[in-house]
Amino acid sequence: MTKSLTITRPDDWHLHLRDGAMLQAVLPETARHFGRAIIMPNLVPPVVTGAQAAAYRDRILAALPDGMTFDPLMVLYLTEDTDPADVAAAHASGLVTSVKLYPAGATTNSASGVKDFDKVRPVLEKMAEIGMPLCVHGEVTDDAVDIFDREAVFIDRVLDPIRRATPGLRVVMEHITTSDGVDYVKAHDQDLGATITTHHLIINRNHILVGGIKPHYYCLPVAKREEHRLALRAAATSGDTRFFLGTDSAPHVDAAKESGCGCAGCFTATNTMALLAHVFDEEDALDKLEGFTSKNGPAFYRLPENQDTLTLTKQDSPVKFPYKIECEDGPVSVFEPGFRVYWTVA
């Protein structure tokens, strides 16, 4: 029996579009379904100034196929040299939505990130004053900390001290992967939210490592134990407005992933909405999907909801997705959930 669900058009509150040929290849995959996305600034070199964000936004809009509508929400990459006045001006003009904090070395293209958190205090204070959200990649980079513990340690060592020192700072914990992340958000107020990815609702660390190493399931923060995946599912489907979708769809060409030192990132833009419908259906929470994908994010970012809608239908037989999308630089594998999917975007 065909089931159908119409929701306010979704937004993606954490997305990597890259640049050049990759941007050209992946942008339609997102714009087909999503009205807006928070565009991650970890290009090489990173998007650091308002002027760089304006130029990147123009390149994104130039790559948008005719007939598609999509609003890229630009983000500045926080460095120890970021000028609080440039950030405030870029925000006031409407050009830039948020600032992204990467601990130096934490993830793909994060070499220009922050080493000494005291150095960015003036920027964070300015952001608290003007109500501009800070997006955070929440992992410590200390060699002594096990990679599976890096999110929990970040919360204690970095995030909580920053929030205490900067009252009023509005923070999005990006791509949370642990029950520690879920609990930290739940214990705090409206100035704190978190994005959850599609893939972290689907895979745990066994999926990466059992039966052979699966490079396409490797991303950062790395997927954790099953109990954490279940905590993320519970948070996403709970209706708690502090949790919203950030796919962290992060394309790399297959040659860079299927390598002796494979890049981190899962490319989920193509099938994210169908996979989320599957997950929410499985959790008997289809009525919570719209909040997670289309309402909680705009509420946190203090933006209007999209005016248009998206319809998902559940078919009688499994739906096929492309295995790969083509890019001039090489093919990019689409995230394969490992189960049959019956949902599709109408």
Assess 220 for contact with ligand NCD (CB under 6 A).
Answer: yes
Contacted by 185, from ligand NCD, Zn ion, none: CB < 5 to 8 Å by type: none
What are the start-end ranges of the E strands in 44-147?
71-77, 96-101, 134-136
Report whether 17 belongs to an annotated binding site.
yes
Nearer to ligand NCD, 19 or 86 (CB): 19
Contacted by 265, from Zn ion, ligand NCD, none: CB < 5 to 8 Å by type: ligand NCD
238-267 residues in contact with ligand NCD (CB under 6 A) are 248, 250, 264-265
74-133 residues in contact with ligand NCD (CB under 6 A) are 107-108
Binding site for Zn ion (CB under 5 A): 107, 137, 248
Give the contacts of 6 (CB within 8 A, at least 6 positions apart). 309, 310, 311, 312
Q: Rounded distance, CA 32 to CA 9, Å?
A: 10
According to DSSP, residue 131 is labeled T
Assess 137 for contact with ligand NCD (CB under 6 A).
Answer: yes
Nearer to ligand NCD, 69 or 259 (CB): 259
Q: Rounded distance, CA 255 to CA 262, Å?
A: 8
Assess 219 for contact with ligand NCD (CB under 6 A).
Answer: yes
Nearer to ligand NCD, 128 or 245 (CB): 245
CB of 11 to ligand NCD, least distance (A): 17
Nearest Cα residue to 335 out of 197, 228, 234, 205: 197
Pick one of 9, 16, 224, 228: the residue that binds ligand NCD (CB under 6 A): 16
**Looking at this protein, which amino acid is placed at residue 44?**
V
Nearest Cα residue to 82 out of 60, 109, 50, 108: 50
- Angle at which helix 121-130 crosses helix 84-92, to 10 degrees, equals 30
Pick one of 24, 42, 98, 306: the residue that binds ligand NCD (CB under 6 A): 42
Q: Out of 11, 12, 240, 248, which one is annotated catalytic? A: 248
Q: Rounded distance, CA 4 to CA 286, Å?
A: 10
Nearer to ligand NCD, 250 or 277 (CB): 250
Q: Rounded distance, CA 200 to CA 183, Å?
A: 16
Give the contacts of 338 (CB within 8 A, at least 6 positions apart). 202, 203, 207
Active-site residue 248, yes or no?
A: yes
Report whether 271 belongs to an annotated binding site.
no
Report whether 86 belongs to an annotated binding site.
no
Nearer to ligand NCD, 130 or 147 (CB): 147
Could you tell me the two tokens for 205?
């660390």
Residues that bind ligand NCD (CB under 6 A): 16, 42, 107-108, 137, 219-220, 248, 250, 264-265
Active site positions, annotated = 248
Task: Extract the annotated binding site for Zn(2+).
Answer: 14, 16, 100, 137, 175, 248
